[in-house]
Amino acid sequence: MKDIIELSEKQEEAVSYKNGALLVHASAGSGKTRVLTERIKRLLDISKKKVLAITFTNKAGDEMRVRLGDSEKIKSQVFIGTFHGFCQQVIEMRGNLIGLSKMPQIFEQESDRLLLIEQAIQSTPSYLLKYKNFDEKKQRDFRYRTLEFISKVKRELLTEEELLNKTNNNEDAVLLFHSYQEILASQNAIDFDDLIMLTHRLFINNPSVAALYRRTYEYICIDEAQDLNNAQYQLLKSITNGEYENVMMVGDPNQSIFAFNGSSSDYMNKKFIEDFNPKIIELKENYRSAKKVIEAAEKIIPDSNEIINAVIPGIFEVVSCENESTEAEWILDKINELILLKEHDDIEGQITYEKIAILARNKYVFAKLEEELIDASIPFYYKITPGAIKFESITMNIFDLALRVKLNPSDNLHLSRLLRLLGVSGVTSLQDIGNFIDVDHYKKALELVIGLKDDGSNLKKSLKNFSVFIKETNSIKEDDDRKMILDEINEILKHWTQYARKTDKESLNQFKNAMALGQTHPLATPKGITLSTVHTMKGQEYEIVFLMGMDDGTFPDYRAVRNGGIEMKQEKNNTYVAFTRARRFLYVTFPEQRLMPWGAVKHRTMSRFLKKLS
Amino acid sequence: MNILIDTVRIYGFRGLRNIEVSLEPFTVLTGMNNTGKTSFHKALQVVLGNRLFISPDDFYISETEKVNEIIVDIRIVPIDNDAKKANNFTDEWLEIFTDDRIIVNAEGEQFIPLRTVVTIDSITNTFKTKQYIQQEWVVFKNEDDKHWYQSENGTEKPFHFDETPFFYMDAQRDIIEDIKVRNSYLGKMLSKIEYSKKDIIAIEKQIKELNEHAVESSDVLSNIETTLKELDTAMDNTNNGVDITPFPKKVRDLNKGVSIQYSDFSMEYHGMGTRSWSSLLTLKSFISLFAKTSENNDKPFFPIIAIEEPEAHLHPNAQKKLFGQIAGIQGQKIISTHSSYVAGSAELEQIRSFYKGHDDVVCGKIDTSGFSSEDIRKIKRQVINTRGELFFSKVIIFCEGETEEQAMPIFAEKYFGKSTIEIGIDFVGVGGQGNYLPFLRVAESLNIPWFIFSDAENTSGKNIKVSVQNQFLKCGTTKTESDSIVFLNDGNDYEKQLINDGFGREIKKAIASLDIYKNKKHREAKGAKRLKEIESYDNEKLYEIFTGSKTQFGPAVAYAIIESNKDLPQKIIDLFDKIKESLNIKR
């Protein structure tokens, strides 16, 4: 069954383009990847030959592979990969034609190559003396510059003589280059730039090999073509050899991120047009985000790029609720309303729980909502980053570090962190540290850990007692701090319950490990609505997003409010990120009062970031 | 057809330690038994077909060596319409093999160097087969004595394409078995019989009528039916109840009852010849069906067909006819044979001779590129058509005429203590001292050891020795003259040599033994006088009679010499000593 994909008129024009060169200028969100994959699918319908699909990163290649599907036809008839991946395969199969009988090892890490530079300097005595007189910083700069020089030589595909000319007869640089290459060769290794250079050489020296690729691949498609560099473009030309036209380039001329790599949008915008005279199609319409959502995000941090071409209206609403309960209820009602609606012009396909995400600054904001969702039997899960719970309060960080040291007394790393946090030095046992602490609840947290039994049998009781202490102690001044500690204690207790349920022989050590592996997290199976903190959500987008708990002190966090400066700037950025997670609908809510764990009610105001919006 | 497997190399498979065989679109493998012809077929199967048969016994083992991997390399090349190697694969094959498998060498020639490696896991006793595309096709053995199988494997790439199926038919084929066995080629075809829905309804209606008619017309059947209907009274059956069907009721069951009649007899009553032949023809039919499907799907098709001894159980003319039928199958054919008729039907270039000497099995072929058309005609007429058994020899002795040809086996049996057939020695009289060359060329090309036992007289101004030496030089051998030719003493032919060697008495005995008397009385009357006459012959007279014309003298003299208990003639001993040394035969 084929998915029916709706395409705009411009997209359709690019997708259905058959023979000849094609340049697609695609701005952000204009459906670039979709156009590319749909065109490949259609080309395969009409051709029995292969398609060469060059992406800029392996990740982009993976995404394209997922979109194309894994039918036999796709697998055997499309090469998806980066220029380096393609070249690696060519060298692996045909390296003997340029004297490489065995596939060389590829040094792709910059750190590996810097090490080679160091060796190359050591074995170039005429330079070594000069280098030795440099201070450390200058030496490092020099190594980086040399690396860049070598890379540039390779990208420019220079010959020996050209090399000397281009470097203004700087013999030292040339010698260094040779030393570097010799060291590589002696280890039967090549670097990333060599891959392209050698493949280019192979094609130029063996025209019949280039011809094989020209005949095998009826179409070549290059994604992110604005990032092409000279070597890559010359490689392309060595394949096409002036007798092959079916090259498609897709790119956003406004968006070149790999500038340090010798890349330039000129290869796409000037050279390609000169050499191939392609048909040019402009994709400007932005389908990624709705107009209302972009407008809202704009007001947090202005970003002129996206707004102009957005074609889908979308929804943006800020809702003020009486308290946390009514906030949760409002969200629940909205969800039910959307699900019942089933379809909306702005949203592709049916509205399902999977298209909805609920975000908040921290996970404790979800407490009320979670209850409501469970009551209403609406499926949801917590998106978590694997690893142990990250505590935010100093008190619980003390608890966490002390627990690690208790479980592994030779863990000096965490012992020193604990000491630093407490401002103590020269002590090595947990018991002794207590004598140096004068903050009551810190001291209590430490004692709690020391008193824990290895089988964890008194963990629950100890934490509950500690919780009572936190609620009553005078040593905590701020209610926000008090609330945070209590939330975090509750969180550990939840994990413990999950853990204890799954095992019949508990141990503190095992509990800590299970927590680190994410095995103790309740409701972590991805199904239904996604609940997530803003942090965990970076890089992901949903059709419909609820951003809840947008009251001042929650988002921005009360500590940022207190400290201002960079912390506040960070909160603002995060708000922008939270907004732009929404593609179509964005609902922002906040409660006018919050109930504290010890029973008091606190009045809240709307987040300062929202004030410009309403 | 525009591709070809032009070379196969095998290392460590069964009895084949290290061999290279070049192939033609149609190749005929000849050679004695146990030289590895079947192993060659099976090695191709390892590359292109089903590998389930592989067992630990397939790994080469000798007193000094045991391999732990089997390596088979094949090279697939593009060819043009005249079966000549071309530079580039056609588009249709390019689409199949793509840059993933096509290699281009520095000369710009495209080919596929496919390596197959079989290894054994000694703990689980299972086999792993991996296939690779090599970077290049190396020489068989390079200057550093490094063999092809020691070269790099290359990039791992499985090689299995519907477009290049492999078919193997062993010598035990039998059409009767094929009908019964579902996975025989016939069985596969029968299970694919398809009719349109309309046809099924029509045919099944006819079968129903036929069944009813058959039952009604037979008292026995209708009686059985009536009786069985009583079942219905006991069972609560609402369906149709009993049905007696002498013919299968459903079209889909038709294939289960197929029988093949040939000239009014069911196949069961035919001999193995017909049954084996029919089985082969079903393969041909299967492949042509396959080809048709490929053509309909616009796909290329290149079957590789290996057939063992297609001549099995057939008379000579049928063998020749069969050869033509196999030649007509699409794809690349490799057949093995022990029939001089089959070998004789092939073109010289199509023959590959497997020969096992002391060392590895080697493969020989007749390279006709340096021959004139007259040379080729001579080889075909004088060698292939009349002496086809040479393809299956262990060693060949060439001599000038029939006398030696018939005498020497008798001497050989005495010398080696075994029959010449057992050893595999063939004695060939080439029919005149000027006729050695075509024979030498064939034997030399096929890698079969050969020797010449030659006269050395001068007749009508011609020096035979010089003439034979010239032919020896032309045949392209690397052997020395003294290793391969035994000349009689200067001026002697075979008869004169024996007389000079002092075998006059035995020759006289032979002459006497060949006298014919009408009856016992006749002999008593004339015998004594005749013996006296023979006894009085001088050497000149003996020579005159011996060379006279009777070819029977050859064996008769030989038997007489053996009966005399004298040593064999020295020149014969010289020849046999050389053979013994070369073949490493124990007396």
**In this predicted model, what pLDDT tens digit does every residue of B241-292 receive, in sequence order?**
677 777 777 777 766 667 777 777 777 777 778 888 888 888 888 899 889 9
Q: What is the pLDDT of residue B266?
A: 73
Residues of A in contact with B105 (CB under 8 A): 97
Q: HSE, CB side, 13 Å, CA atoms: give it for residue B54.
A: 25
Helices (H), A167-301: 171-186, 192-205, 207-216, 230-240, 266, 272-276, 291-300
Distances (CA, A) of B297 to A50, A361, B292, B300, B301: 19, 60, 9, 9, 10
- Percentage of residues in chain B with pLDDT exceeding 90? 46
Q: Is pLDDT at A164 greater than 80 in this prediction?
A: no
Whether B170 maps to a domain, the answer reads no
Shared-domain flag, residues B261 and B398: no
Residue A98 near residue A202 (C-beta atoms within 8 A): yes
* Angle formed at CA A78 by CA A76 and CA A83, multiple of 5 degrees: 125
Question: Do the interacting molecules here have an ipTM over 0.95?
Answer: no
* Angle formed at CA A272 by CA A270 and CA A274, multiple of 5 degrees: 65
Which residue of chain B has the CA closest to A207?
Answer: B108
Whether B123 maps to a domain, the answer reads yes
Backbone angles phi, psi at A215, to 5 degrees: -80, -35
Q: What is the pLDDT of residue A4?
A: 47
**In this predicted model, what pLDDT tens digit does every residue of A285-329 receive, in sequence order?**
888 788 888 888 888 887 655 556 778 889 999 999 999 999 999
Helices (H), A96-205: 110-122, 125-133, 136-155, 160-166, 171-186, 192-205
| A76: contact with B, CB 8 A cutoff | yes
Contact assignment for A50 to B103 by CB distance below 8 Å: no
Residue A53 near residue A79 (C-beta atoms within 8 A): yes
In terms of pTM, does the model score above 0.80?
A: no
* Angle formed at CA A451 by CA A445 and CA A453, multiple of 5 degrees: 125
Question: What is the rounded average pLDDT of the residues A117-130?
Answer: 86
Largest CA distance in chain B: 112
Task: Identify which of B446, B445, B443, B444 has the alpha carbon closest to the alpha carbon of residue B426.
Answer: B443
Shared-domain flag, residues B63 and B89: yes
Whether B279 maps to a domain, the answer reads no
User: Would you call the peptide bond into B158 cis, given omega within 30 degrees of 0 as the criterion?
Assistant: no
Residue A282 near residue A22 (C-beta atoms within 8 A): no
Backbone angles phi, psi at B326, to 5 degrees: -70, -40
Q: What is the pLDDT of residue B476?
A: 84
pLDDT band at B117 (very low <50, low <70, confident <90, very high): very high
What is the rounded end-to-end Cα distance, in angstroms, of chain B? 52
Give the best residue of A208, A217, A239 to mutate against chain B (max B CB count within 10 A).
Answer: A208
Whether B284 maps to a domain, the answer reads no
Question: What is the rounded average pLDDT of the residues A240-251?
Answer: 94
Q: Rounded to whole angstroms, how far apart are CA atoms B435 and B418?
A: 30
Whether B336 maps to a domain, the answer reads yes
Tokens encoding A20: 């000849």
Helix axes A412-422, A394-407, angle to 10 degrees: 150
Contact assignment for B135 to A217 by CB distance below 8 Å: no
Mean of per-residue pLDDT scores for chain A: 87
| Structural element, H or E, at residue B364 | strand B361-365
Shared-domain flag, residues B132 and B202: no
Whether B147 maps to a domain, the answer reads yes
Question: What is the rounded average pLDDT of the residues B221-249?
Answer: 72
The CATH code of the domain that includes B32 is 3.40.50
Strands (E), A259-409: 279-283, 315-321, 356-360, 380-382
**In this predicted model, what pLDDT tens digit does every residue of A565-582 receive, in sequence order?**
888 888 988 898 899 889
Residue A427 near residue A462 (C-beta atoms within 8 A): no
Which residue of chain B has the CA closest to A216?
Answer: B98
What is the rounded end-to-end Cα distance, in angstroms, of chain A? 47
Number of Cβ atoms within 10 Å of the Cβ of B107: 8
Shared-domain flag, residues B348 and B377: no
Shared-domain flag, residues B430 and B536: yes
Q: Is pLDDT at A259 greater than 60 in this prediction?
A: no
Whether B142 maps to a domain, the answer reads yes
* A237 dihedral zone (left: phi>0; alpha: psi -120 to 50; beta): alpha
Shared-domain flag, residues B14 and B84: yes
Q: What is the pLDDT of residue B150?
A: 95
Q: Rounded to whole angstroms, how far apart are CA atoms A436 and A486?
A: 25
Q: Rounded to whole angstroms, how far apart are CA atoms A575 and A360?
A: 10
Which residue of chain B has the CA closest to A101?
Answer: B135
Q: How many CB pairs under 8 A join A and B?
A: 48
| Structural element, H or E, at residue A25 | strand A22-26
Least confident of A116-130, B44-58, B95-109: A116-130
Task: Identify which of B514, B499, B584, B509 has the alpha carbon closest to the alpha carbon of residue B550.
Answer: B514
Q: Is A501 helix (H, G, I), strand (E, B) or coil?
A: helix
Shared-domain flag, residues B26 and B88: yes
Range(s) of the domain holding residue B567: 371-583
Backbone angles phi, psi at B138, to 5 degrees: -80, 170
Shared-domain flag, residues B514 and B382: yes
Shared-domain flag, residues B265 and B378: no
- Number of domains chain B is built from: 3
Q: Is pLDDT at B62 greater than 60 in this prediction?
A: yes
Specify which residues A359 forms β-bridges with.
A532, A547
| A46: contact with B, CB 8 A cutoff | no
Residues of A in contact with B108 (CB under 8 A): 206-208
Shared-domain flag, residues B148 and B185: no
Pairing of β B351-356 and β B361-365: antiparallel
Q: How far is B136 from chain A (nearest CA, A)?
A: 8
Whether B524 maps to a domain, the answer reads yes
Shared-domain flag, residues B515 and B405: yes
Shared-domain flag, residues B9 and B134: yes
* A161 dihedral zone (left: phi>0; alpha: psi -120 to 50; beta): alpha
Q: Is A253 helix (H, G, I), strand (E, B) or coil?
A: coil
Interface of chain B toward chain A, CB-CB under 8 angstroms: 87-88, 91, 94-95, 98-99, 102-106, 108, 110, 133, 135-136, 152, 154-155
Q: How far is A99 from chain B (nearest CA, A)?
A: 11
Please name the member of A206, A208, A216 whose beta carbon is closest to the beta carbon of B94: A216
Q: Is pLDDT at B549 greater than 60 in this prediction?
A: yes
